[in-house]
Amino acid sequence: MNTAMGFSVTARGDREIMVTRDFNAPREMVWDAMTQPEHLRRWMLGPPGWTMTACEDDPRVGGKYRIAWRGPEGEDLAMSGTYREVTHPSRIVRTESFSMAGEPQPGETVGTFELTGRGDVTSLTITLVYPSKAARDGMINSGMEHGMAASYQRLDELLAGTPNGK
């Protein structure tokens, strides 16, 4: 899949997707940008033309989150779940459930997010485990990597303090 800009999305086994991405920022700064709604609203927007319509995030064990977007053609997408593990500033394990046009999608995904710092560079590794091969393949075929790549480019700008990140 996509390997541009140090970004990689790889299918593993029958039910997993692994995402890796490096950021030129200290781990604490990346953690804050990925766990605080005021920052998430600025970068986690998906492909061009999409807007965030809801962002609720309580990153603690048992805490819940819900993020929703609207596409340029009026399509609605939402992701929600519960935090199972939060180890500041290095690891999050949470469930992920999606709904499209208000209709829940089948199954629940478990996402593990790991941040590893090396000075002013932080590596993000996300492992997503889907309830079935069909669910995993559906996500791959959705073009998810395009929305993630666009969002991570905005996160780069936010971390660098450039005008588009402000």
* Look-up of token digits 């609605």: 76
CATH code of residue 142: 3.30.530.20
Q: Is residue 30 part of a domain?
A: yes
C-beta of residue 143 within 8 angstroms of C-beta of residue 36: no
Q: Which residue has the higher pLDDT, 6 or 15?
A: 15
- Please check whether residue 166 lies inside any domain of the structure: no
128 φ, ψ (degrees, to nearest 5): -110, 125
Domain of 77, in residue numbers: 4-161
Cis ω for the linkage preceding 106 (within 30 of 0): no
pLDDT in tens, 111-120: 999 999 998 9
60, 37 Cβ separation under 8 angstroms: no
| 126 lies in some domain | yes
Specify the higher pLDDT residue, 5 or 138. 138
Residue 18 located in a structural domain? yes
- What percent of the chain lies above the pLDDT cut of 90? 81
Task: Give the chain's domain count.
Answer: 1
Structural domain includes residue 21: yes
Report the chain's mean pLDDT, rounded to a whole number: 92
Residue range 5-34: mean pLDDT, rounded: 94
